[in-house]
Amino acid sequence: MQWVVGLLYLFICAVPLFFITLFIRLFKSEQNWHRRMKGRNKS
What residue ranges do the domains of the chain occupy?
1-43
Q: Any alpha helices (H) in the chain, and if so which ranges?
A: 2-42
Range of weakest confidence among 5-9, 16-20, 21-25, 34-38: 34-38
Nearest-CA neighbor of 30 among 38, 40, 42? 38
List pLDDT tens digits, range 11-25: 999 999 999 999 999
Statement: the pTM of the whole predicted model exceeds 0.75: no
pLDDT band at 39 (very low <50, low <70, confident <90, very high): confident
pLDDT for 1 equals 82
Q: How far apart are CA 43 and CA 39, in angstroms?
A: 7
Burial 22-31 (b: 16+ CB within 10 A, else e): eeeeeeeeee
